[in-house]
Amino acid sequence: MTWSRRTFLTSLSCTSLVLSLDDVLALAVPASTQQATPQVGSRPTYDAKPRPAPKGAPSPVAGTPLGISFIDVARQSGLNAKTIYGGEHKNRYLLETTGCGVAFFDYDHDDWVDIFLVNGSRLEGFAKDQEPVSHLFKNNRDGTFTDVTAKAGLARSGWGQGCCVGDYNNDGWNDLFISYYGQNVLYRNNGDGTFTDVTAKAGLLQSKTRWNSGCAFLDYDRDGNLDLFVANYIDFDIKTAPLPEAAGCAYKGIQVACGPPGLQGGKNILYHNNGDGTFTDVSQKSGMWDTIGTYALSVSVADLDNDGWPDIYVANDSTAATFYQNQKDGTFKDVAIEAGIAYSPDGKPQAGMGVSIGDFNRDGLLDIVKTNFAGDTDSLYLNLGNGNFDDHTYLSGLGVNTRFLGWGVGFFDMDNDGWLDILMSNGHVYPEVEGTNVDAPYAQHKYLYRNLRNGQFEEVTALAGPGITTPAPARGTAFGDYDNDGDLDVVVNCINSLPQLLRCDPSPDAGPARNWIKIRTIGTKSNRTGIGSRISVTTQPSPDAKPFVQIDEVRSGGSYFSQNDLRLHFGLDHATKADVEIRWPSGTVDKIPALAPNHLYVIQEGGKILKTVAMGPQQTSSKG
């Protein structure tokens, strides 16, 4: 057996050796990297060095034309609402830096995804009726959107953070949850284009001011009702928070907002759905507070250990990440250190921002990608099975970039070849760096990595069009096919700027069009949205080729403070049929063979296809 810090820690559970928490941390983190409790200050600087891309087995796609291009069509599409968040040139407090999330959210269930953009505020406030509000844009089905915020009843101001979607009351309409610095809001979808604020009625009022961050609906106890996880960043009070000039907070010699090191971290919250439209806070008794990680930002939910129960992974800023493993009895245990997904490869805590989950190497196990602070690499964790992971950042080729600061992130199949690629949205956290020449600029271009099908990725940023290469102060990022043409588009919420809508178009070097399939789930025994369902798609590109399998799960929340399209999209390459299997949270397994490509299938628990829609550049049919 090959011994590492993780395998040694895992072995302790099989012995009678008892160690203190300090002892365990000493084993998990090399002595050379251990630090004293930090004083109040800004984030530490990182010194990870970019490494050349690894050389491995030859790839059939490396260096070939990309075949697609991303174009920012936000303005022409009608996404004209600027997101306001903190000072544009100088920030006094950390609160002004985090920005907001975004959702691809089909609120009217017409199978054309709409867009919800969370908005923020400024310290000096606004005149009455001039406050910025979040915005809901209805998809007009012609490439444009209409702002329906006021009509929908969603015009609310405040320091908005994240958003997530799910049908919490199982009435057939997906509801919307928005996290805030301050009081969160739960909006019940009335099914007629309007929403009702049911926060108080649902039991979600908070007794103190919290800095709520990422969120996700999940059915952690598999009772058919969606529960709610809300990450928390810092116990922040603007009346007592240190100012940069008083505390001497600096980043590379530039005076910047203080924190998070030295500030009191927030405690994550788990709400249990009582099945009657109300929730109960079960955070403490469920084990949410028994972790070493804090400063929580983004959250993603998935069955990471393949035991049929949803787990929770949290990207934490400037400290260890958290892996809440579901104990199947209403409790969770943080096993991030033992699993190998708490720290960097050399045992250092990282400033995690965004997180996405997907099976990038098609081995039937869900892997993790996490964005981190400037000067550090992003992280790619390869799932080894049995709840164990290896840091694959350098081996995969993602370690070549260390300059930019990542936020929203997603595994997505950009070219429908059946292999998950990666997009990262970047932007500096400190506007004070702009024009100083001491660091990367505030607005930054994105990173796009193509899956080489051999465990490695090739950075193809420069080939991917102006939507990728144009700098932007990005934060929340969501993935979905807003124009129903069969490829995945991207919406980005930027800070103190208009949003981006990155439409994926075939480029002149594109070869024959590849096929795809979309699945929307409707639970009966399981929660109505089907969140937590695992979908397997098996295809055979040619009669003499080996069948290959892709997996994904329907999930709420993820990326950075954002919500992806709840319809799962699978690229099929040139396969002409797909066998689909759905494992529902209830335990029901449905198998639907030989589905035709280039369609959306709405599938009800029990295996009934409720609706079939042919999609593509020309929508041709709909039946159900």
CATH number at residue 326: 2.130.10.10
Together in a domain, 596 and 467:
no
Residue 103: beta bridge partners?
116, 563
Last residue of a domain, one of 437, 471, 505: 505
Together in a domain, 529 and 578:
yes
Give the residue-averaged pLDDT of 338-353: 94
Q: Check if the beta carbon of residue 204 is closer than 8 Å to that of residue 119.
A: no
Using CA atoms in the order 154, 158, 159, 164, what is the torsion angle rounded to 10 degrees? Answer: -20
* pLDDT of 52 above 80: no
Residue 1: pLDDT band by 50, 70, 90 thresholds?
very low
| ∠ CA 341-343-345, rounded to 5° | 95
Residue 9: pLDDT band by 50, 70, 90 thresholds?
very low
Together in a domain, 454 and 529:
no
Together in a domain, 536 and 454:
no
Give the residue-averaged pLDDT of 9-24: 37
Structural domains counted in the chain: 2
Residues in the chain: 624
Alpha carbon distance 472, 245 (integer Å): 28
- Structure tokens belonging to residue 53: 């891309």
Q: What is the pLDDT of residue 503?
A: 98
Q: Between the CA of residue 504 and those of 115, 275, 401, 409, 487, what are the distances in Å? A: 17, 40, 24, 16, 7
Together in a domain, 476 and 537:
no
Q: Mind listing the pLDDT tens digit for each residue in 286-318?
A: 999 998 889 999 999 999 999 999 999 999 999
Q: Is 286 exposed, middle or buried (0-12, 13-18, 19+ CB in 10 A)?
A: buried
Alpha carbon distance 77, 80 (integer Å): 8
Residue 23: pLDDT band by 50, 70, 90 thresholds?
very low
Does some domain include residue 115?
yes
Together in a domain, 215 and 344:
yes
* pLDDT of 97 above 50: yes
Q: Between the CA of residue 545 and those of 274, 382, 551, what are the distances in Å? A: 49, 26, 19
Does some domain include residue 28?
no
Last residue of a domain, one of 505, 536, 559: 505
Alpha carbon distance 56, 138 (integer Å): 46
DSSP three-state, residue 460: coil
* pLDDT of 359 above 60: yes
Residue 461: CB atoms within 10 Å: 17
**Where would I find the H helices in 135-228?**
149-152
Residue 511: pLDDT band by 50, 70, 90 thresholds?
confident
Does some domain include residue 118?
yes
Alpha carbon distance 488, 366 (integer Å): 20
* pLDDT of 584 above 80: yes
**Where would I find the H helices in 100-169?**
149-152
Residue 27: pLDDT band by 50, 70, 90 thresholds?
very low
Question: Which residues of 386-488 form beta strands (DSSP E)?
Answer: 388-391, 406-412, 421-426, 447-451, 457-459, 474-480
DSSP three-state, residue 267: coil
Alpha carbon distance 231, 335 (integer Å): 17
Together in a domain, 196 and 173:
yes
Q: Mind listing the pLDDT tens digit for each residue in 518-565?
A: 999 999 999 999 999 999 999 987 777 789 999 999 999 999 999 999
Structure pTM? 0.93
Q: What is the pLDDT of residue 58?
A: 79
Query: Whose CA is closest to 460, among 63, 41, 15, 39?
Result: 63
Q: What is the pLDDT of residue 617?
A: 67
Does some domain include residue 273?
yes
Q: What is the pLDDT of residue 6?
A: 46
Does some domain include residue 65?
no
Q: What is the pLDDT of residue 293?
A: 84
Give the residue-averaged pLDDT of 110-130: 96
Does some domain include residue 67?
no
Alpha carbon distance 337, 349 (integer Å): 11
Q: Between the CA of residue 198 and those of 175, 181, 184, 277, what are the distances in Å? A: 10, 18, 11, 9
Q: Give the rounded distance of the alpha carbon of 501 from its chain centre.
A: 17
Together in a domain, 491 and 599:
no
Q: Between the CA of residue 129 and those of 50, 82, 157, 463, what are the distances in Å? A: 48, 16, 10, 44
Write out the residue range of the structural domain in which residue 385 sits. 73-505
Together in a domain, 487 and 586:
no
Q: What is the pLDDT of residue 619?
A: 46
Kind of pairing between the strands at 421-426 and 311-316? unpaired
Q: What is the pLDDT of residue 587?
A: 97
Kind of pairing between the strands at 114-117 and 250-251? unpaired
Residue 29: pLDDT band by 50, 70, 90 thresholds?
very low
Residue 595: pLDDT band by 50, 70, 90 thresholds?
very high
* pLDDT of 132 above 90: yes
Residue 82 carries which DSSP code? P
Together in a domain, 148 and 200:
yes
DSSP three-state, residue 296: strand
Q: Mind listing the pLDDT tens digit for each residue in 138-186?
A: 999 999 999 999 999 999 999 999 999 999 999 999 999 999 999 999 9
Together in a domain, 480 and 527:
no
Amino acid at 41: G
Alpha carbon distance 507, 605 (integer Å): 39
Last residue of a domain, one of 505, 523, 544: 505
Q: What are phi and psi of 69, to 5 degrees?
A: -145, 145
Residue 558: CB atoms within 10 Å: 31
Does some domain include residue 418?
yes
**Where would I find the H helices in 261-309?**
283-286
Strands of 474-480's sheet, edge to edge? 68-72, 500-506, 489-494, 474-480
Q: What is the pLDDT of residue 541?
A: 73
Residue 307: CB atoms within 10 Å: 13
Residue 17: pLDDT band by 50, 70, 90 thresholds?
very low
* CATH number of the domain where residue 596 is located: 2.60.40
Q: What is the pLDDT of residue 145?
A: 98
Amino acid at 221: D
Does some domain include residue 45?
no
Together in a domain, 477 and 526:
no
Q: Check if the beta carbon of residue 453 is closer than 8 Å to that of residue 61.
A: yes
Average pLDDT of every residue of the chain:
91
